[in-house]
Structure 1
Amino acid sequence: MAMETAKKMTLFGLVWPIMIELFLQFMIGTADTLMVSRISDDAVAVVGISNQFFQAVIMLFVLISSGAGIVISQKLGAGKEEEARKVASMAFTLTVGLGLVVSLFLFFGANIFVNMLHVPESLHAMTYQYIRVVGSGTIVMSAILTLSTVIRSTGNTKGPMLVAVGMNIIHIIGNYVFIFGALGLPKWGLLGVSLSTVGSRAIALLVLFYIFRKSFTGLIQWRDLRLFDRPLLKEVAKVGLPMAFSSASWTISQVILFSMIATMGAEQLAARTYLNTMESFSFLAGWSFAMAVQIQVAHLFGAGQMEKAYRSLYKALFWGELIVITNTILLFIFGKNVVGAFTDNQEIISIVVGVMALNLLLQPLKMWNMPLNNALNAVGETKYVMNISIVCMWIIAVGGTYLFGLQLGWLIYGVYVAMILDEGIRGFLVQRRWLARKKLPKESAPMIQERRGIAGQM
């Protein structure tokens, strides 16, 4: 099993299914934005601020599952499959439990978040409805994220990709049926979008759970989901807690950022929504390299191949930057035509086109930053990444948005200037840390010694 897993851990073997999966997720967001734009620009603004809020909430689960994924990859690299299996079961149980709590909170407390986001009064009713319906499905999304992460950590990146294909198709069909009243059904507008979102995710969850149960040599049983191994839980916590604290801080900072953008007006908010969609296209291929390198570095680190782990980051960084820079240039050239497909509001189009030039700097800086963060997390440097992230996101991203965007009146241009400074400074700091850790930490030595001992006994 260990040799079979190692064969799956090549960079490009991991990357291409992740890239396709992320592209399909991007297509879901694009389909939402394009179809919702046929309702109104106000509806687009509602989806934009709500989905950004949901992304912030979901980051809590992303980082918890990512912590477990790192430990799983390290354990598989060290030949400890049974421990990896236990970690996977615990991660699923924990995130589902937390997801249930968050789902209930969002369903019954949707009004709290509408007010907290400073949504324009004219958008209150639509935002409340959207947050309530989609938010109640947080338990489904949290489970999907955990299962996808666990499955990828075993080297199987094709499974989540194929599930994403099916989810994408179901979601687009659901949007068409519910928004436009196809097949004789009533036109439910934004409510239909939210129902289509939750429904497609629920179906995806069932398929992913089936794959999850067969991801290890021994079939995962229902009783496994009730078991907790304290030492293993401590290992996950050591990696995952700093990531979770960083995620919680990021969640709050994003809510504040979008609440500040909301005070700038509906046009600024809608422009940011369109920009998010377009930027996702620019960055998703690069992000797939960042996700793949975390799995690869964690596996190599667990196997004791530390020099190879160190060098693998730069291969991912080179290819990721090449793709991101190319995509960003294309977006800059054709951006006006792209946003024109979503809206005919000239003020919104003007804002989006103006910000495109700033993306020529922002997106490559993001690509520089994220693989380095993931690689450092994969070798246990989660506390350092957490400290750098929290300080920079609050002082530079949030503080810069307030200063440039609101106080100096640069509006969304000020937001992007702050984000550029944030990504640039963090990228410099994590790059310096990675260079300083060329001889990676020796935490994996016990794993290596134990594997050698087992091999000697055989």
Structure 2
Amino acid sequence: MERLDFEGKPLTSLIIQLAWPALLENMLHTMVFFVDMLMVARLGTVAIASVGLGGAMIFVVTSIFQALSAGATATVARFVGARNYEKAGRSAINAIALSIAAGLFVALFMYFFTPIFFGFFGVSPLVKKLGTVYVRTVLFFAPFRFFLFVAGASMRGAGDTRTPMKITFVMNSFNILMNYLLIFGPGPFPRLEVFGAGIATGSSFVLGMLVYTVLLWKMILGGPWKEGVLRFDRELLSQIVKISTPTALEQLILRLGFVVFLRIVTSLGTIALAAHEIAVRIESMSFMLGIGFGTAAATLVGQGLGAELQ
């Protein structure tokens, strides 16, 4: 964990250094549910619509709580910029603990309310049934998913955007393999179809969490400040929540508009919904460049502010 070299490198070089791995990482994150949808496409239009709408529902819910990443990036970046690595590590640990708690809440909430949400969209009974299975299965792993959000955000705040990109690539590769084995059931593997897609995606979250845990353990707990890192810090948690709340509200407002539009699409029928979900996944790749540069800006501004306070 080291502060970025503001004096030894041109600002443009630092921006590109941080932005391109973040760009690829976000593309890979988007592809997780896109791959699920493509691989269940062989099961028919209903399966595409179920996984597509289920993935959209997961995206709406998780994007609100993903705002915790903003708080993690900002606090970690600022403390790394000030070379206060103990507080940077403590910020990451406290933010991760908060994200796991949020993930448990989402997993429980969505288990009970997923059928109601599918009912709101007015889809066919079969789409509702399969979609509910997919959403419940994936969001059973929500604590692991939220762990990934905040662990990656903490690393990016520390100036390392390449490691999260590499971990996400490994997760995606594992997800594709597990999808093939559990959706179609070759050889001794069970043919679980849509349920298998959910298990495969959730399993990739667990793998990612394990890799992050090992790396964060070495990065954060490998220094002489490790005793001060593993400590509950009410002030830091309050700061993380304060930074994250406006982002969460912004995402909530955006996603409500998305939900209304999606309700209009579902009224056109299963085939229209399936086509829409495929098109949206492809379209979402178009704004990944902006997200990459946004990540670079957040890290640079945070570390720059910390450096000024040093």
- Please say whether Structure 1 and Structure 2 have the same fold, judged by a TM-score greater than 0.5: yes
Indicate the residue corresponding to 1:130 in structure 2.
Answer: 134
Q: Distance in 2 between matches of 1:64 and 1:42?
A: 34
**Equivalent AA in structure 2 for residue 186 of structure 1:** P
191, 195, 199: which is aligned to 1:191?
A: 195
Say if 1:214 and 1:220, in contact at 8 Å, map to a contact too.
no
Alignment of structure 1 residues 204-283 onto 2, 5 Å: 204-216=208-220, 218=223, 224-225=229-230, 227-230=232-235, 232-283=236-287
Partner SS state of residue 35, structure 2: helix
CA deviation map 1:278-331 (0-9, x unaligned): 113333234222222222222223334xxxxxxxxxxxxxxxxxxxxxxxxxxx
CA deviation map 1:142-180 (0-9, x unaligned): 111111111111011121112112111111111111122
Change (3 A) 1:292 1:4: closer
Say if 2:110 and 2:139, in contact at 8 Å, map to a contact too.
yes
Indicate the residue corresponding to 1:344 in structure 2.
Answer: none
57, 61, 64: which is aligned to 2:61?
A: 57
Q: Distance in 2 between matches of 1:241 and 1:282?
A: 27
Q: Distance in 2 between matches of 1:206 and 1:286?
A: 29
Indicate the residue corresponding to 1:289 in structure 2.
Answer: 293
Change (3 A) 1:17 1:268: same
Q: Distance in 1 between matches of 2:115 and 2:51?
A: 16
Change (3 A) 1:220 1:258: farther
Say if 1:140 and 1:201, in contact at 8 Å, map to a contact too.
yes
Change (3 A) 1:264 1:302: farther
161, 165, 181: which is aligned to 2:165?
A: 161
Change (3 A) 1:42 1:151: same
Aligned identity (percent) is: 28
179, 184, 192: which is aligned to 1:175?
A: 179
Q: Distance in 2 between matches of 1:248 and 1:129?
A: 24
**Equivalent AA in structure 2 for residue 167 of structure 1:** M
**Structure having greater relative contact order (Cα 8 Å, sep ≥ 6):** 2
82, 85, 97: which is aligned to 1:78?
A: 82
CA deviation map 1:17-39 (0-9, x unaligned): 22332333344334222211111
Indicate the residue corresponding to 1:98 in structure 2.
Answer: 102
Say if 2:78 and 2:302, in contact at 8 Å, map to a contact too.
yes
Q: Distance in 1 between matches of 2:231 and 2:105?
A: 18
Say if 1:99 and 1:139, in contact at 8 Å, map to a contact too.
yes
Q: Distance in 2 between matches of 1:65 and 1:279?
A: 24
Indicate the residue corresponding to 1:379 in structure 2.
Answer: none
Say if 2:54 and 2:132, in contact at 8 Å, map to a contact too.
no
Aligned-residue offset at 1:221 = 6.0
Please give the TM-score of this superposition, normalised by the length of structure 2: 0.88
Please give the TM-score of this superposition, normalised by the length of structure 1: 0.61
Indicate the residue corresponding to 1:40 in structure 2.
Answer: 44
Q: Rg: which structure is higher?
A: 1
Alignment of structure 1 residues 425-436 onto 2, 5 Å: none
**Equivalent AA in structure 2 for residue 120 of structure 1:** S
Matched, 1:23 2:31: no
Change (3 A) 1:24 1:222: farther
Unpaired runs of 5+ residues, structure 2, are none
**Equivalent AA in structure 2 for residue 53 of structure 1:** M
Partner SS state of residue 182, structure 1: coil
Unpaired runs of 5+ residues, structure 1, are 305-446, 452-458
Aligned residues between the structures = 305
Say if 1:213 and 1:221, in contact at 8 Å, map to a contact too.
no
Change (3 A) 1:114 1:263: same
Q: Distance in 2 between matches of 1:225 and 1:143?
A: 16
**Equivalent AA in structure 2 for residue 195 of structure 1:** I
**Equivalent AA in structure 2 for residue 218 of structure 1:** G
Aligned-residue offset at 1:2 = 5.0
**Equivalent AA in structure 1 for residue 157 of structure 2:** S
**Equivalent AA in structure 1 for residue 24 of structure 2:** I
RMSD: 2.5
Q: Distance in 2 between matches of 1:127 and 1:52?
A: 11
CA deviation map 1:417-440 (0-9, x unaligned): xxxxxxxxxxxxxxxxxxxxxxxx
Say if 1:111 and 1:128, in contact at 8 Å, map to a contact too.
yes
Indicate the residue corresponding to 2:117 in structure 1.
Answer: 113
4+ residue stretches of structure 1 with deviation over 4 A? 1-9, 219-226
Q: Distance in 1 between matches of 2:45 and 2:262?
A: 17
Change (3 A) 1:178 1:223: farther
Q: Distance in 1 between matches of 2:56 and 2:5?
A: 35
